[in-house]
Structure 1
Amino acid sequence: MKAKYQWLNSLLTNNKNEFAQFPEIKWLNPYLADNYIHQRNHLLNKMIDAPLFKATKPYINHISKGCQICGSGKWSCLFITNKCNASCFYCPVPQKNDEVPSTQGLDFKNPLDYAHYVNNFGFDGVSFSGGEPLLYFDRTLEYLKILRQECKPDLYIWMYTNGILSDKSKFMALANENLNEIRFDIGATGFSLDKIKAAKGIIPVITIEIPSIPEEKDRLIAMMPQMVEAGVTNLNLHHLRLTQHNVSKLIKRDYNITSAERPLVVESEIAALEIINEAQNAGLKIGINYCSFHYKHRFQKAGYRRIIAKKIFPDAQITENGYIRTYNVDSIVYQSIKLCAATECLDNKHIEINGVNYGYKVSSSFTETNLSDTYRKQIDELIKNEPENPPADMLLYKIYQFEYIESGLRDY
């Protein structure tokens, strides 16, 4: 485990350097960390259902089809706008300006071009996000209509909203175009269920999706029976994370912050697991899942890398983590692919989708040459069989990271 601990220490250093101008941040100390790990493990052990996606997504009862598609990596999230009409303290990014609908750095001014993109890469699910999609309802509805006209009939489509601008007429219009699921962030509306009640019986699947806010744990636990009565089938709880945009608000709440690829609120994870346990104890049939940062960071990124790599280089060796592997006599190379506007790619690599050119960049993520016979044997075994524990050797650990999606919730 030596190499892994060195890697985790480097993440902590990066996090602290990024937020050095905020000395008020309470970085989790080792003494408290042990207590929180014990508490988390106790909560996980009490859960009947085993966590999904390599133990990164604890849940009870069920998860929505949208979440299943997300975990498989066959999901495209279209940001209808980057403008929002709420001001949630936990929002990780500024959302002040309307921009062209986009996904993964690609702009789609024309909904037909986006439908062709979805078809070309074989996505099974699409979500509309923002910002707030209902700020530009006609735009959202137009993209939904074109997807239904041009894509396979079983394409699963859902929308995220804070619900502020929602009403029954909008729900009816969305349902008429076969929106499968709607996800409300009730944190933006004082945890009101009124808008959700208006969607009941109109949109087939109604989900509440919010960050797991420690101070609101008891309120959410008390509300769960009301959620079920209002028509909510799923409750998705996200890991609250620290960003440059929300740091000034989060530090006022005295949270303990743990380090990962991004800084995370420890109490947020504990609260999510406590809520799941309370629902399990009460025998509620609502599906609840804890959408951990580790799940999102690993599975969403890996899934997108795999889809793009398989489409552009169908004969390449592609790892579980979505990297293209080139393994020769004395070297091993891992590469990743990123799509971009054709005008942004200076090396003239492009693909054509229904008459529209998209550029792509092939980036070398890792290269090791002059491999010894000993290393080759170890690498052969590592590629053939995922180890139960990460390798202690730094070179093998790096290779392990490009080969596999890391399992489990990481220790604090």
Structure 2
Amino acid sequence: MVWETPYFSYAVRELPKGCQLCVRGEKLVLFTTGVCPRDCFYCPLSPWRRGDVVYANERPVKNVDDVIEEARIQEAKGAGITGGDPLARLERTVEYIRTLKENFGKDFHIHLYTTGALATEKALSKLYDAGLDEIRFHPDLFNPNSKLFKVEIENIRKAFDFDWDVGGEIPSIPGQLDRMKWYAEFLDKHGAKFLNVNELEFSEMTLKTLLDMGFQPVSDESSAIKGSLELGLEFLEWGEENTSLSYHLCTAKLKDAVQLKNRLRRMARNVARPYMEVTEEGTLRFGIAEYDDLDELYEFLVEEAEVPSEWLHINREKGRIEMPEEVAVELADAVEGDVKFFIVEEYPTWDRLEVERIPLP
């Protein structure tokens, strides 16, 4: 039976362990390289991640300590390793897996996504020995006559020689039901545990290509592609009747409304300063004041406006003084001149993405 999860997604049987942690915001997203042996027409990767770069969530990684720090801030219980193809930088990926296990223990659950093109027996052995718990293969399913696809399928077979959870991860592309069924039967025959299906979405990088191919958005407000969700549900119904795999249809809404929000909440409680309010969405809300001379403004606020110094924080990087929202509201009424006051909301992430700014009169 296909059942609807509390996370706006759909499943057959049980969710994979990696997904159970992910939907609760408990998985660190570890991007170990943007390098990939394939160039899929639906790949949403942004231009600045298409090179050989490393990110832990939104944090650019200079060394493995950055990864550990980000996992601690998030209170992560596991990591999902992605790319590009993480196996394109195998030694780096293996080092991160081993270091995360050493720092957070064997119960820190790590899953990894790969095309399979580089998953030689030697590579798989290194990943397994480092402590990888779950491996998810995304072969070039929609280009079955390519030499690369044949290599990927042969490599996937080798993964079943190791004692970890093996599964698949593919997009739900309208018109490709037969290829999806073929892959499900292949995985089921070899003893895989699950097959995850992702609702196809437009991204900045794929918009023109997908429109040119005839795909349409569900609505003006959504990045999801028309027909993808319906195909995914049809596929899950078929899979429940014809295979023993578990299935998870991961929707566009899950990623934004659930997974991201839950991760932000976990991070917010660890990075919020005393003057910041953590919202229901997991953002940080507080007041700011902007002025040409921050030191002069700070001195004025403390000595003339008699604002307690512990309520104020000079953020020189962003050129502002931060404070509780209610203090900014009061000061906006009382302070004359060129000082500008705002209420802002930011993500509690490394890049502190600003999602709202309200000017105070």
Which TM-score tier does this pair reach, normalised by the shorter chain? 0.7 to 0.9
Indicate conservation of the 8 Å contact 2:73/2:267, yes or no. Answer: no
Secondary structure of the 1:294 match is helix
TM-score normalised by the chain length of structure 1: 0.65
Distance 1:49 1:244 in 2: 32
The yes-or-no answer on 1:251 pairing with 2:203 is: no
The one-letter amino acid of 1:148's match is: K
Q: Which residue of 2 aligns with 1:226?
A: 186
Deviations 1:28-65 (A, max 9, x none): xxxxxxxxxxxxxxxxxxxx3431134x1111011111
> SS where residue 282 of structure 2 aligns?
coil
Aligned to 2:201: 241
Q: Give distance in 2, aligned partners of 1:174 and 1:359.
A: 28
Equivalent residue of 1:171, what SS?
A: helix
Q: Which runs of 5+ in 2 are unaligned?
A: 287-314, 323-348
Counterpart selection for 1:58 from 3, 6, 10: 10
Secondary structure of 2:65's match? helix
Q: How much has 1:119 moved relative to structure 2?
A: 2.8
Hey, what does 1:176 align to over in structure 2?
129
Q: Which has the higher helix share?
A: 1
Q: Is the 8 A contact 2:56 2:70 kept in 1?
A: no
Per-residue CA deviations over 1:335-363 (Å, capped at 9, x if unaligned) read xxxxxxx99555599xxxxxxxx977485
The counterpart of 1:140, out of the listed 93, 97, 101, is: 93
Match of 2:108 in 1: 155
User: Does structure 2 conserve the Cα–Cα contact (< 8 Å) formed by 1:344 and 1:359?
Assistant: no
Q: Partner letter of residue 181 of structure 1?
A: E
Partner of 1:208, secondary structure, is strand
The match for 2:309 is none
Whether the 8 Å contact between 2:197 and 2:232 is mirrored in structure 1 is yes
**Is this contact kept in 1: 2:32–2:93, CA < 8 A?**
yes
- Say if 2:167 and 2:187, in contact at 8 Å, map to a contact too: no
Contact 1:212 1:240 in 2 (8 A): yes
Matches of 1:234 and 1:130, distance apart in 2:
21
Deviation at residue 324 of structure 1 after TM alignment = 4.9
Does residue 78 of structure 1 match 2:30? Answer: yes
Deviation, 1:277, is 0.7
Distance 1:187 1:74 in 2: 29
The residue aligned with 1:26 is none
Instruction: Give the 3 Å change call, closer, same or farther, for CA 247–52 of structure 1 in structure 2.
Output: same
**Partner secondary structure for residue 140 of structure 2:** helix
Amino acid aligned to 1:199: A
Residue 159 of structure 1 contacts residue 181 of structure 1 at CA under 8 Å; is this kept in 2?
Answer: yes
Aligned partners of 1:79, 1:255: CA distance in 2, in Å? 28
Aligned residue in 1 for 2:299: none
Do the aligned partners of 2:136 and 2:168 also contact (CA within 8 Å) in 1? yes
- Give the match for residue 272 of structure 2: 313
Pair 1:323 & 2:298 matched: no
1:302 partner letter: K
- Letter of the aligned partner of 1:242 in structure 2? F
The alignment status of 1:87 with 2:39, answered yes or no, reads: yes
Encode CA deviations 1:110-169: one digit per residue, 9 max, x unaligned. Answer: 113312331343101111111111111111111112112112321111111111111111
The match for 1:131 is 84
- In the alignment, structure 1 residue 99 sits paired with structure 2 residue 52: yes
Q: Which moved more, 1:158-167 or 1:359-368?
A: 359-368
Name the counterpart of 2:224: 264
> In the alignment, does 2:243 pair up with 1:291?
no
Once residues 296 and 285 of structure 1 are traced to their aligned partners in structure 2, the CA distance between those partners, rounded to angstroms, is: 26
Kept in 1, the 8 Å contact 2:77–2:109? The answer is yes
| Higher RCO, 1 vs 2 (CA within 8 Å, ≥6 residues apart) | 1
Aligned to 1:50, the other structure's residue is in SS state: strand
TM-score of the two chains, using structure 2 as the length reference: 0.73
Distance change >3 Å, CA 65–CA 89, structure 1 → 2: same
For 2:356, the equivalent position in structure 1 comes to 365
Question: 2-side partners of 1:52 and 1:278: how far apart?
Answer: 18
Aligned residue for 1:70, secondary structure, equals: helix
CA drift of 1:321 comes to 2.6
**Residue of structure 2 aligned with 1:114, choices 48, 60, 67:** 67
Q: 1:261 to 1:175 in 2, by over 3 A?
A: farther
- Alpha-carbon separation, structure 1, partners of 2:159 and 2:114: 12
Cα–Cα, structure 1 residues 101 and 346, in superposed 2: closer, same or farther, change >3 Å?
Answer: farther
SS in 2 for 1:83: coil
For residues 141-200 of structure 1, the C-alpha deviation after alignment (integer angstroms, 9 at most, x for no partner) is 111121121123211111111111111111111111110011111236736532221100
Q: CA deviation at 1:75?
A: 1.2
Unmatched tracts of structure 1, length 5 or more: 1-47, 327-341, 350-357, 370-412
Q: How many residues align?
A: 298
Distance 2:81 2:350 in 1: 24
Q: 1:347 to 1:229 in 2, by over 3 A?
A: farther
The alignment-based identity, stated in percent, is 24
Q: Give the stretch that moved more between structures: 206-215 or 190-199.
A: 190-199
* Cα deviation digits, residues 345-398 of structure 1 (max 9, x gap): 55599xxxxxxxx977485737699xxxxxxxxxxxxxxxxxxxxxxxxxxxxx
Q: Measure how far apart 1:254 and its partner are.
A: 2.2
Q: Give the CA RMSD over aligned residues.
A: 3.0
* Bigger-Rg structure (1/2): 2
**Partner residue in 2 for 1:277:** 237
Letter of the structure 2 residue corresponding to residue 59 of structure 1: A
